[in-house]
A and B are shown apart, each in its own frame.
Chain A
Amino acid sequence: MHKRITRLATVGIAAAAVGVMLAGCTPASSGTTEDGKSKVVFWQQKFEDYQQDWFKAQVAEFNESQDEVEVELLVVPADTWDQKLKAAQAAGKAPDVKTTSYGNIKPMQASGQIADLSELMDADAFDDIAENIAPFVTVDDGVYGYPLLVEPSTVLFYRTDLLAAAGIDAPPTTWDELLDDARTLTTGDVYGMNIGQTAPDLGWSSWGLQYNVAGDFPLRGDWSEASADDPAYEDLAKFYQTLYTEKLMPQEATYPYADCSFFGEGKVAMSACGSWALGQLSANPDWAGVWENTAVAAFPSSDGDPTSPTSTLGGWTLTVDAKSKVQDESAEFVQWLLADDTDRLVDFFTATGFSKYPARVSVTEALAATPEAADDPFLATITEDIVPYAKAEPSYPWDVSLAFATSLEKAMRGGDIPAAMSEAQAAIEDVIKKQKLAGTGSD
């Protein structure tokens, strides 16, 4: 018998040894570099190439500017971001600083994932954040992310040459006008309009239109009950359904909503795209012919009221991880990069081709004073006609948006509209119950 015990013990020791070996394989926890500097790990979600260039140059400059802190930049593609971040969090190796969208600030704050920057950064850094943007990053008295930029998610792009050829002298200002124009502009190879058409895209790209048609989102107030059965949303579903079933827009999502290539390739005469598409369109030499004839306008509202929101104001911030061992150094980097020298950010926004907009008052002013900004034909439309009326992204869980968008997609592809909306209602009620949302909302 004792031999057997010995054998079991041997097995146990072997297992433990393997365990120790495996533990030894993982690198020591971050915090300091080999030469004694504090190491700050910074994950940047991959965006347009000029953004990667800018972040890379800034990180190099920061690392050279002092010898206390070493920032290590890692660019992570958007489609692997979520699982990579969760895996890192589970392993206790979350990045110290990361890019975070406005919509994720409140959910991340609620589960204690991000640090309150107002305790880590100089107070006057926060005074410079534009008044309409400050609430996006503020929860109670804490500020949980420092905003880099805002970008309206829905802007109407249109081809001046095609509209003129069709005898349309101004972009549409109501949904009915938009549908009529789209019918006129749809010819042979060119569709009159393009707009998001898959649930994952509709989930966020239709937020502004949801707000426009019903005056609020399908989950509102303190999030106690769903409002997807608000009859106003049936008009929204009808709008999408008409565009799709009358074949006024591309019939398959060759490109996702965030990619404005349908418009760039000349396959559509009008398109809903985010403001970032300005950067995409102007940068592609193959699309020069389209770019010459591109103009933008505020996306029409359902009833023609130009002050009624049709867009949300998306955008990106930098957040500091709540468990980071180098929170002060991380905040120092965020402050240096985003809250300090306005020239640094003016360079950034100039590089965007004025397709993204500053979140700081002083940067907006400095940018407006540059000659490039004065020459830009689109800047005034977006900063005067769209940004002031745009709404904040809803901060409820994505499941709510996706549930609504799945129903919207069903309706869009010809499904029964009231049935689809009551399906959305039930699905959102289910999310409220299971994720215990009732009473947690503050929109």
Chain B
Amino acid sequence: MTMSPQSTNRLATAASVALEPETTAPAPKRRRGVGRLSTHVMDNRTAYVMIAPMVVLLGIFVWWPLLYSFYLSTFEISFYEEPLFVGLQFYGYVLEDPDFWHSIGIGATYVLYTVPAIMIIAFLVASFIRTVGRKVAGLLKTTVYVPTVVSAVITSVVFVFMYRADGGLINWLIGFVGLGPFAFLSDPELALPAISVPGIWLAFGITTLIMLAGMYDIPQSYYEAAQLEGANFFQRTWFITIPLMKNVLLYLVVTATIAGMQQFELPLVMTQGGPTNSTMTPNLFIFNQFKDPTPYATSFSLTAALILFFVLGGISMLIFRLIRSDKAIDA
């Protein structure tokens, strides 16, 4: 699923860790009374106790595996013989592998096809839902959420049938205007756009709901004031809605971009990365590398996964830099 809650949570955590390193700077130099000092220590103690379980869990399930992965990536791993220390050799292998970079390019192209479309469709649908009455809005919200709960694998299978050149629904429809039939999933030019469509379909619902939540947070008085001044819908959207939803939009762009780069199920089920590697997304590439029963395959896929981690981190940083994240104005 393009927007799974797990990935969004993880990313939100990663993003806040990466980008807000010094949010609370205690003022140690300020002189305090003895009584206040002990309260301060007591406060801190409570705070440490409260965060301890999370730190322990993160340590066990995030930091230790990550560090251990880096350690393992310096070996040619065998589950049967002594692992062979090779230093950073596999990093070199991955970085100079044109297929790895090709897969990053495919991931980036998939993001270009899906993220703008998801954002625009979700924004328009959310804007529309906001204008309708309570009952209709409830119905629409439920409806747009449906794709989110459909499994990506099932979606893939359904779309494979829809795309079929012999009797597929889509070729039947475009047949009415005299086009086709196209073998969408067997044409290297069409395959990636074709798998982007279910990608958009799967992700736009949850994106719409998150945008809608952001829109409901904007005080109605702003719009009333703007209307009194004679602002039309586009001006209200451009000068009120978008600026006030900046953080929400930023979050959605980052998570959708990362989820898009990590797209795996759609190409796995629909095209197996083909035709001629034109839908070989980074995760699918790594997965395929992993399959050979050789120590080389294990180490290569591990190292490629670690490098992908940095590529994705880099992309997130870039987006955060490009769109400065500020606190909400009305906070």
Contact = CB atoms under 8 A, between A and B. Distances in A.
B277 A108 contact: no
A104 B274 contact: no
A426 to B, nearest CB: 9
B56 A82 contact: no
A413 B274 CA distance: 12
Interface string A391-411: 000000111000000100110
A254 B287 CA distance: 22
A323 B295 CA distance: 16
A18 interface: yes
Nearest to B185: A252
How many interface residues does chain A have, given as a range? Answer: 35 or more
Interface string B255-293: 000000000000000001011110000000001001111
A276 to B, nearest CB: 20
A9 interface: no
A399 B97 CA distance: 13
A113 interface: yes
B18 interface: no
A406 to B, nearest CB: 6
B55 interface: yes
A252 B296 contact: no
A322 B80 contact: yes
A111 B293 contact: yes
Interface string B135-156: 0000000000000000000000
Interface string A414-442: 01000000000000001000110000000
B294 A14 contact: no
Contacts of A198: 272, 274-275
Interface string B90-104: 000100010000000
A223 to B, nearest CB: 14
A18 B55 contact: no
A82 B291 contact: yes
A83 interface: yes
B152 to A, nearest CB: 16
B274 A251 contact: no
A420 to B, nearest CB: 9
Contact of B276 (A11, A107, A322, A413): A413
Interface string A1-34: 0000001001100110011000000000000000
B175 interface: no
A11 B45 CA distance: 13
Interface string A90-120: 1010100000000010011011110000000
Given A90-B79, A111-B81, A251 B165 contact: yes
Given A89-B79, A252-B165, A406-B277, A111 B295 contact: yes
Contact of A107 (B59, B165, B290, B293): B293
Interface in B12-62: 45, 48, 52-53, 55-57, 59-60
Contacts of A37: none
A108 B293 contact: yes
A397 B183 contact: no
Contacts of B56: 11, 14-15, 18
Given A111-B80, A200-B274, 15 more contacts: A7-B45, A7-B48, A10-B52, A15-B59, A18-B56, A82-B290, A89-B80, A94-B79, A199-B274, A251-B165, A251-B186, A252-B183, A254-B166, A323-B80, A409-B276
Interface of B: 45, 48, 52-53, 55-57, 59-60, 78-81, 93, 97, 164-166, 183, 185-186, 188, 272, 274-277, 287, 290-298
